[in-house]
Amino acid sequence: MSASLSRFSSALPFWGSLILLPLAAVEAIWGGWTLLLLPVCGWGLVSLLDRIAGLNKANLNPATPDADLFWYRLITLIWFPIQFGTIYGLIWYTTHVDHLASWEKFALFFGVGVISGSIGINYAHELMHRRGWAERWLGDLLLATVLYSHFRTEHLQVHHRYVATPRDAVTARYNEGFHRFFVRVLREGPKSAWRAERQLLARAGRGVFHRSNPFWRFGVMQLVAIALAFAIGGWIGLALFLWQAYIAVWQLELTNYIEHYGLTRLHLGDGKYENVQPRHSWNAEHKVSNWLLINLQRHSDHHYKPDRRFPLLQTYSPDEAPQLPYGYPAMTALAMIPPLWRRAMNPRVRAWRRQFYPEVSDWTDYNKGRLPFPKGAS
């Protein structure tokens, strides 16, 4: 077997997201009970396959050159035209081939939002971390199709800097239910991103109206995405587009919620925190969901080396980083039911504190989202 073919076969499992596209087509054509296919596959089937396939603790050589990662990278490079065609093609189909009831159309676009959120935004996340302008533009285009362009700024300039501190909006606080978290992030995230860009511009001696402010580009791209949906499908097409965008954002923030729930870096005083460590992210080694989510669940290493491409992300032992009991799809489903989530995760958070911060005797301030160094810490 040639080296290139070997690399292709190794990368092939990460192309599993393409399976979702024929399911969307079946839902659009048949409607009815088939509208359950995308949600059931996205949460139930993947979680079941995780149980069957088990864990993957193998690490690729992190020094592997980009040239050997072509087949891994390609799925992220081609995803924008795929997602674009899926969203707008189904808007045209549901508004011109009128055989679905209104509720079926919205159920279909719930599934489309599952695709554009769990896959599209995840791929945008991978692309936005790259240095090349082409990949970053593809990430921006993907985010525009779900009207969440500010996520790039918020993620790169705020989240990675302040993760696991009260200054990071998308770090879920201990005992904070997802629904309260979701409302808080929708309120705080755009403001946080705008503030970060304003500060960057100010350091360069520029005002917020300078053409280099990416928010103007974000706004134009999102307006084009909205206008195209209206041009293709009228008011119904626009409503379906906005619905899938909302579901996509909901999917993203469900993932954000579980990635750092209850985990905190110690505040050292004067606005400084300890360095980010592998212990500040929840990880999952489940094989199938890592294929679908291109190793997003190796989240500790992503925060350690944000520019590391997804196939090279490393996994950590439980002595170094906390592990979730299930993969992200199962955990996001659990997060939708706060009492069950707290029952499953709060004991793990407390065990994490005893394991990594035995010197801290009082976490009250951190539980309430306050900044002071915890009492009893050395």
Per-residue pLDDT for 109 more than 90? yes
Which whole number is the average pLDDT over 182-191? 95
Q: What are phi and psi of 313, to 5 degrees?
A: -60, 140
Amino acid at 216: W
Q: What percent of the chain stands above pLDDT 90?
A: 81
Residue with tokens 């199709």: 145
Centre a 10 Å sphere on the Cβ of residue 243 and count the other Cβ atoms it contains.
17
Q: What are phi and psi of 217, to 5 degrees?
A: -65, -45
Which whole number is the average pLDDT over 175-203? 94
Mean pLDDT of the chain: 92
Which whole number is the average pLDDT over 294-315? 94
First to last CA, the chain: 57
- Residue-level pLDDT at 67: 87
Q: How confident is the model at residue 302 (pLDDT cuts 50, 70, 90)?
A: very high
Assess contact for 267 and 375: CB atoms under 8 A. Answer: no
Q: How confident is the model at residue 370 (pLDDT cuts 50, 70, 90)?
A: low
Q: What are phi and psi of 269, to 5 degrees?
A: 100, 160
Burial 182-194 (b: 16+ CB within 10 A, else e): bebbeeebbebbb
* pLDDT tens readout for residues 122-175: 999 999 999 899 999 999 999 999 999 999 999 999 999 999 998 899 999 999
Assess contact for 289 and 297: CB atoms under 8 A. Answer: yes
**Alpha-carbon gap, residue 279 to 180, rounded angstroms:** 25
**Alpha-carbon gap, residue 40 to 164, rounded angstroms:** 32
Burial of 114 (0-12, 13-18, 19+ CB in 10 A): buried
Angle between helices 214-259 and 178-203 (to 10 degrees): 140
Q: How confident is the model at residue 188 (pLDDT cuts 50, 70, 90)?
A: very high
**Alpha-carbon gap, residue 332 to 123, rounded angstroms:** 18
Extents of the domains making up the chain: 3-367
From 248, 217, 225, 218, select the one nearest 145 (Cα to Cα).
225
Assess contact for 278 and 263: CB atoms under 8 A. Answer: no
Per-residue pLDDT for 373 more than 50? no
Task: Please give the model's pTM, rounded to 2 decimal places.
Answer: 0.93
